Every structure is written in structure tokens, then in C-alpha cells.
Chains A and B, each alone.
Chain A
Amino acid sequence: MADKPVYEEASIDGQPPKLASIPASDTTVWADASPLLQAACAGLRDGELIHGDNFNLFAAMSALEIMDPKMDSGIVCTYYSIDEAIENGAAPIPISLDSTIDVRCTIDIMDHLLACEAAWHKGHSLAQTVFSCIYLLRLDRTAPHALLHSYCRIIRATCKAVVSVVSDARTHEEEDLFTMTYGLPLNGDGDDKCLSILNAVEETISRQLRACKATSSKRRLPEDLEPLQSNSNLEEGFCKALLCRLRFRKHFFHVLSCMKRPQGRGLESARKHIASCLTELESILESADFLRSCFDESCEGDIDDKTTASGFEPIGFDAMLNSRLSAPTPPRAIKILSWKKAVEYFVKLLHDLDVICSYSLDPHLESLLRFVVQFQKSQPDLVARSHLQLLLVQDGKLYGRDPFFAVINKAAALPEATKNHDIQKNESFLQLGMLVMNLLKILCTNAAWQRRKLGKFLQDWRVIYVQLELAFRNEYGEVSSSSNDENTCMKIFQHILLWVEEQTYWIAFRFLILGFELELYSTGEYCMVYWYLYAVLIKLTEKTHLMMAVSHDTAKRKGKKKKDSSKDLARESRIPPAVLFLQCYICLAEGLTMMLAALRNEIPVFHSPSPFNTEHEKFVQHFELLQRACIPDHVSYPSYKESTTHARFSTLAMYNYFKDAQRIAKEVKSSFSNDPESRLGGRWGRNVPFGWIHFSSYLK
């Protein structure tokens, strides 16, 4: 084995340390290759490249230039290894011999770790964030420092738990960096006891806090208890600052553990811990004033940018130590979130988790879809979305509880009795169950990924419809069946076929609407988008209306006792609110299409052709996935042109679209209050598009 290399002192100009000598050993011999390299330089002219069989220009692109600071991982670092860093005092234990400074520095480390954790959640690698902490990289050596040790342990256990959730959910899509833990010491012996270790430390500090309060009120203090640090004026402030930080970590760990429990059994407990976390975060924010003022030295720079509450730089962090483990890309300095922003991130995360924990685990698919769509509006981050997905889909069942065929059975308004029917073993029905499961997973991903997946998904839904229809026709043809079971099977097919169509158009609608949220449409394209939305909404409304009719049928057949039969009759003849809702959308879509078409047709500046293609190509590109799945049928660029070519402002009919929409919206709103029993707008909920209506009224 070669002896350890001897390093010279790093030179003043910041050049990396030069090796004094690398001794040879029994099995190695050093030879100077400089003349060979010199000759090689002269052997190639400018622009020539050595061309091996397996080495072409494309492969050459992956080459790194050694010693180029943008590409060479090893070049821009202070220390070449963790051991070297520790030997040079980068992570001292204790941090300071002055106990007051030691405590403040410990708090700085805690704060910086929070900032690192938030940066990690937001999309950077674990290696360059949380594990830039040298104390965490060699956790065992922190054993003599109870406070630091217990805190590092719980951080490690928390990171491991979060990685586990995100890995299981597999919703990390483009955020692959998140679960990369190769080479990092994430598994620690005894980490399962991290809570009890933390509790012991918390207990001690609580007693220290009580003691310093007792001193101030001149009561006798217990002689066996040492104070936290040596400055009695600062004792109370430091104890409080530490306690809220420790308690936050404890409650946060509990949140993760509770939410992990199957079938949502831990959600209520999780909510309590979330509330405690938020309280502790408040206290953490409040401690900042004390921490900033407890030392005479003020820190430079903008306090809002700092990663610690005190404003001081934390000791014991080096992001470059792990640069080889961080990502398969050239190393780049990443910006850790400021401490303030980190706290804000955790507050948002906790609120998002609270929304998930408050969910009632409604067995109705429509309500669930509405909940997920609504949840996504607040743009939850990866960790929150992963938790939602794991709650919804566990062990191949909804909430780990309801088999998907039963869920579909209910959604398709079939009687309760059919949910255990043998037909569910049929290949097509099994596949349909998978599709519903995958739909829920997709709806939990980030909007950009989600839209791409939904677009491709349309094809799968079309195929399953065709398969089911074929199976139905093969079994039953046109025959009106004789036996009861055949009757039931036929009914199941009919309901489910209708439901699959409705679901398919709903997905198409979501696909188009997400395009607005993601800013994928330029203003010149709005006209065709609204037109296509209009076409999809027409079909969706048709299927929803049919679905409500058969659902009403099923309810009638169940022989539910209705108290008020006259109200019943009125309800039957009225259009269900869910359908009215969609009609409102249809009016808006049509109105906006016509308005935009008129603008186009009458005002030349709104119609600027591009040199390389026409509107036709843009239409084909935007709606390719929908067209491929024939959603809807008979919709094409020529039919779009036909509908919009003659639109003019003088055609007053356009204004009626918006008036109609307003009228229907009011009707829907009032019907919700009068009739809470109705299929409450299903997946549309109360999201009446008043925003659209106000916009269009303004434009009038």
C-alpha cells in the first residue's frame, strides 16, 4: 500500500495543494510521461481528433477538461476528503470551549441544516445540501456533544424517512436528484431510538430552563444541574431557542411516522403534530431577535439572506466534499435557501400535509378527483404530493381499503350488490382498474409531467373502451337476455362503458385546461384551444347527462323512500346541476372562441402569419394526442376553420353566450343551496367559473 501522500500548505493564491511526493511501492513504478504528452501535442493539427472505433464526436462531448473549474469536480475545493477537513479543524467537537459560543454555534448548525433540508426538498441533491454537514457525515464522533449528536441523529432519520416516501411514490418524475443517496451515510445503527435520545436532551434543557427561571425568582436551584451555558443573562433565551428547535424536529418526525400508517389510520394524530410543528416554527422565528442581539459583534451582509437566525455563518459545512456524489453533472455551486425562506417552505409543507390529513377518504371517485384537482391548485411540492399519492394508492387499493372494481362500480352508479361480481376477473376489467389507479398517481404529479402523461393516457382509455365494447358485443350482441345474471352483466357493461367515456372526456378536458396553467398556449392560439374545449365539453356534458340519468334510474330501483314526492317529480324533470355547470362552461368556451375569432377576422394585427408554417400545423401539434385517440370524433382543422371564419363583432349572438353563462351559473348556485342531495356537481364542486364570466363581461 502506498504511504499517505504528503500535502504542502495551500498557497496564498488559492491554488490547490500540490503533492510533495507520491512514493512508489512494491507494485507501482512511476515514470514521467511529460515527453510523451509533449510529442503527442505536436502530433495533431488544430481540429484533428483521435478517432477510435467506439469513440466518435458524440462520445467526445462527454469529455471533461481537467482543471477547468466549470467541469472538474476536484478542482475547487478546500479539502480533498472528509478526514482532511476534520484534521484541519473544520468541524470541531466541542465547537467552542466557551459554552455560550458553543450553544450559539450549535443553534446556527441547526438553522443551517433546516435551510439545507428545504433546499433539498426544492430540488437539489442531498449530498450538496443536508450532507454538506461534516458532523452528519461522521455522526459517531459527535457522541460527546449530546445536543449536536441527538439533533444530527434525528435529521438523518428524518431524511431517510422522506427519501423512503418519495421513492415509494415514484412521483419524483424529473426530480430524480431527490432520491439519490449513493455513498451517503443515511442508515445509522440505533436511529430508531433517535426520538428517545432527543427526548432526553429536551428533558435536560427543560430542567435548565426551569432552573434559570427559579434563580430569577430567587428560589433554590437544584445543585446537581449544570446550566446550559455560562452567561446567566442569556440562559433563558438560549434554552427557549433550543427547545422550540428540538420540539419542531420531534413533532415533524411524528408527522412522517403517523402519515405512514396504512389506510390513513394515523391522519388525525398527524394533524395534532402538524399543529405543534407550526407552533414551534412560530417560536423559532421569534427566537431570531434574541439570537441576533446576544453578541456585540454584528454580522455583515443582509440578514434576510442568511441561513441562520443569528446571522452568523455556521461552522462545520462544506458542500464540495461530496461533489463527486452529488449528481452525474459537472459540479455547480447551489444556493441554499435563506433561513427565513426555509421556515416559510416548512410552513407551506405543513399546511399542504394538513390538507391531506383532513381529507375524509371519500369512497366516491368524483369527490376524490375534485379534491386532488383542488389540492394541486396550491402547487404543493414533491414531498407533499408523494404523501398524497401514497395515501390514495396502497396495496393496489384505494386508500389501501377499497378494491378498484368496487370504486368503479360506485362511480358508474351500479347497485352495491354488483361490486363483488365475478366479471371483475375479466381481463378488461382488471386493466380498467389499473387505469384508474394510474390516473390517481398521475394526478398527484407536478402539472408539467401530469399533462404529458394525461395526453398519452387518453390512448389507453380509448383502447379499453374499444376492448370493453368488443367484449360486450361478443357476449350479448343485440339479444335481450333471459337470465338474471346475464342481465346483471349486461348492465355492468353498459354502465361502465358509459362511465369510461365520461372519464375519458374528463381527462381530455383536464389536459386542455392544464395547458393554460402551464402557459403552453400563446395568445394567438387561444381561439383554437377554446374551440377544442368547446367540442370536448359538448361530449362530456352529453355523457355526464346520460350518466346522471342511469344513476337516477338505479336510485329509483333501489326503492329509496323519498319523503317529498312532489319535489322528486320536479327533480326528475330538471337538468341536474352538474350538467348545468358544464353547460355554463360550454357557453363560455363558445363565447370566447367567437370573440377571439372575430378579433382575428376583423383586426389585421391579430393575424400574423409565420414564415415557416400556418395555423394548421399549430392545430395539429397542439391536439395531436386528442386527435390520435379520436377525442372527439369528427373534429379537425377544417371544421375549426368552418366554425370561425365568419365570426364578426356585428354578430350579436356572441354576447348571448356570456349572458347565458351568467344565468346558468346563478341557477346552479341556487340549486346547490336548495338541493344538497343532488350529485353535487360531482367532480366540478363549487368551482363556478365566475372569473371567466367577469372577464367576458368586462370585455363587452
Chain B
Amino acid sequence: MEVKPEEKAEIEEPEIEYVSYGGEHHLPLIMNLVDQELSEPYSIFTYRYFVYLWPQLSFLAFHKGKCVGTVVCKMGEHRNTFRGYIAMLVVIKPYRGRGIATELVTRSIRMMMESGCEEVTLEAEVTNKGALALYGRLGFIRAKRLFHYYLNGVDAFRLKLLFPPPRQVL
């Protein structure tokens, strides 16, 4: 994730405010961010599906009142495992490289863990070094390679994080 120095925003770490999804008023913020940065065409119903059913898994990052990043997730039963899924993760360009994405994802994963998920999964382009490094540091492995997953012919990795079994209290 390369950022030209002059494009980088001037911020102090504590200035980033992390907020859990709070309602309809957050929805346009998320939609604008994702529409801007990602190429997939999502209808409003796609967003609603995630934030209505799992509001506790979506987070927004604010800097001085402006929404600069978001993560959107879900969780559920999948072939006998209770699994979390990271659907969208976006941080606008001037704010990258500061660990905002890591913090957003970490909050979501922690919530998934507390909710009883056994694992977390997502897909990422094989060329997305930044994402692969981020998730790698959090404990994800590259479980599978998906050939020509994206329409531009790029392959994807399915990334998976397996939580340790819950400790038995003696």
C-alpha cells in the first residue's frame, strides 16, 4: 500500500475514534467508502444484509468527524463449524499504513471469538501484499488458492484463522 508523503494525513494516533455500527445513519458512510474504493457492485441490500443481521461485527473509524475506514462482517454455521466472514475492509488512501485497518479487523475478530466462532475466513487477491501481511500477522494462513477468482484473471487466497480451542476451566 504505497502512499505519497504529501498525500498522507497529519494525525496523532489517539485521534482515531473506533465506533461499532450504530444504525441507519452509519449506512451511507459505509456505502460511500466501499463504493469509492472497491470495484464490486453492491446494492444497498447487500450492506443491509450484513449490518442488520450482525451490527456488532461492523466497525467504523473516524478522524475529526470524518469516516476514514470501515469493516463489514458476518458469522454463521457453515458445514458444522461456526465461522466468521470478513466481507469488506476499507481505509481511505491518505490514512493507510497506520494500523487503522488492523485495529478495525482486530475488533471484529475479537467480537467473533467472544460470540463463539471457531474460525474466521475471507478472500484476498494474491497480489494484495498489504492485506496478506495484515492478516498474516493476525494468525491467518493461506488455506487455498482460487484460480482466476476475480474477473480480471487474478487468483485469490482463501485466508483462514483458526481459534485455539477454548481453555477448560479446572
A520 near B45: Cβ-Cβ < 8 Å: no
Instruction: For the complex, give the distance between the alpha carbons of A507 and B163 in Å.
Output: 29
What is the distance, in angstroms, from B44's C-beta to the closest C-beta of chain A? 8
Asked whether B106 is an interface residue with its Cβ less than 8 Å from the other chain, the reply is: yes
Instruction: For the complex, give the distance between the alpha carbons of A123 and B150 in Å.
Output: 10
Residue of B nearest to A70 (CB): B41
Given A49-B48, A57-B49, A448-B146: A68 in contact with B153 (beta carbons within 8 A): no
B151 near A332: Cβ-Cβ < 8 Å: yes
What is the distance, in angstroms, from A311's C-beta to the closest C-beta of chain B? 25
What is the distance, in angstroms, from B126's C-beta to the closest C-beta of chain A? 7
Asked whether B21 is an interface residue with its Cβ less than 8 Å from the other chain, the reply is: no
What is the distance, in angstroms, from B166's C-beta to the closest C-beta of chain A? 12
What is the distance, in angstroms, from A429's C-beta to the closest C-beta of chain B? 33
Q: Collect the chain B residues with CB atoms within 8 Å of residue A621's CB.
A: 141, 143, 160, 162
Residue of B nearest to A123 (CB): B148
Q: Collect the chain A residues with CB atoms within 8 Å of residue B138's CB.
A: 610-612
Asked whether B22 is an interface residue with its Cβ less than 8 Å from the other chain, the reply is: no
What is the distance, in angstroms, from B122's C-beta to the closest C-beta of chain A? 14
Q: Collect the chain A residues with CB atoms within 8 Å of residue B32's CB.
A: none
Q: Collect the chain B residues with CB atoms within 8 Å of residue A329's CB.
A: 151
Interface digits, B117-132 against A, CB 8 Å rule (1 contact, 0 not)? 0000000001000000
Q: Collect the chain B residues with CB atoms within 8 Å of residue A426's CB.
A: none
- B-facing residues in A505-534 (Cβ within 8 Å): 518-522, 524-525
Interface digits, B136-149 against A, CB 8 Å rule (1 contact, 0 not)? 11110111111111
- B-side interface residues, number (CB < 8 Å): 38
What is the distance, in angstroms, from B76's C-beta to the closest C-beta of chain A? 10
B43 near A65: Cβ-Cβ < 8 Å: yes
Residue of A nearest to B24 (CB): A47
Asked whether A573 is an interface residue with its Cβ less than 8 Å from the other chain, the reply is: no
Instruction: For the complex, give the distance between the alpha carbons of A64 and B136 in Å.
Output: 35
B145 near A519: Cβ-Cβ < 8 Å: yes
Asked whether A141 is an interface residue with its Cβ less than 8 Å from the other chain, the reply is: no
B162 near A452: Cβ-Cβ < 8 Å: no
A46 near B160: Cβ-Cβ < 8 Å: no
Instruction: For the complex, give the distance between the alpha carbons of A60 and B143 in Å.
Output: 30
Given A60-B45, A61-B46: A520 in contact with B142 (beta carbons within 8 A): yes
Residue of A nearest to B144 (CB): A452
Q: Collect the chain B residues with CB atoms within 8 Å of residue A520's CB.
A: 141-145, 157
- A-facing residues in B65-110 (Cβ within 8 Å): 106, 109
Asked whether A396 is an interface residue with its Cβ less than 8 Å from the other chain, the reply is: no
Instruction: For the complex, give the distance between the alpha carbons of A620 and B161 in Å.
Output: 11
What is the distance, in angstroms, from A69's C-beta to the closest C-beta of chain B? 9
Interface digits, A319-346 against B, CB 8 Å rule (1 contact, 0 not)? 0000000000110101100000000000
Given A57-B53, A61-B43, A61-B46: A612 in contact with B145 (beta carbons within 8 A): no
Asked whether B5 is an interface residue with its Cβ less than 8 Å from the other chain, the reply is: no
Instruction: For the complex, give the distance between the alpha carbons of A61 and B109 in Å.
Output: 24
- A-side interface residues, number (CB < 8 Å): 48
Q: Collect the chain B residues with CB atoms within 8 Å of residue A63's CB.
A: 43, 45
Residue of B nearest to A174 (CB): B147
Q: Collect the chain A residues with CB atoms within 8 Å of residue B157's CB.
A: 520
B164 near A613: Cβ-Cβ < 8 Å: yes
B139 near A618: Cβ-Cβ < 8 Å: yes
Asked whether A446 is an interface residue with its Cβ less than 8 Å from the other chain, the reply is: yes
- B-facing residues in A39-67 (Cβ within 8 Å): 46-47, 49, 57-58, 60-61, 63-65
B162 near A451: Cβ-Cβ < 8 Å: no
Residue of A nearest to B47 (CB): A61
Asked whether B155 is an interface residue with its Cβ less than 8 Å from the other chain, the reply is: yes
Residue of A nearest to B23 (CB): A47
A446 near B147: Cβ-Cβ < 8 Å: yes
Asked whether A175 is an interface residue with its Cβ less than 8 Å from the other chain, the reply is: yes
Interface digits, B21-33 against A, CB 8 Å rule (1 contact, 0 not)? 0001001000000
What is the distance, in angstroms, from B38's C-beta to the closest C-beta of chain A? 11
One of B45, B46, B162 near A620 (C-beta < 8 A) = B162
20 further A-B contacts with Cβ under 8 Å, apart from A64-B43, A520-B142, are A47-B27, A49-B45, A57-B52, A60-B45, A60-B48, A65-B43, A68-B41, A123-B148, A174-B146, A174-B148, A448-B144, A448-B155, A451-B145, A522-B141, A610-B137, A610-B138, A612-B109, A612-B113, A618-B139, A618-B162
Residues of B at the A interface (CB closer than 8 Å) are 24, 27, 41, 43-46, 48-49, 52-53, 106, 109, 113, 126, 136-139, 141-149, 151-153, 155, 157, 160-164
Q: List 26 A-B contacts (CB under 8 A).
A: A57-B49, A60-B49, A68-B43, A70-B41, A122-B153, A174-B147, A174-B148, A332-B151, A335-B152, A446-B147, A447-B145, A448-B145, A448-B146, A451-B145, A520-B145, A521-B142, A522-B141, A522-B142, A612-B138, A612-B163, A613-B139, A613-B164, A614-B164, A617-B139, A617-B163, A618-B141
Q: Which 10 A-B pairs have the closest CB atoms?
A: A610-B139, A70-B41, A60-B45, A448-B145, A448-B147, A617-B162, A613-B139, A57-B49, A47-B24, A518-B145
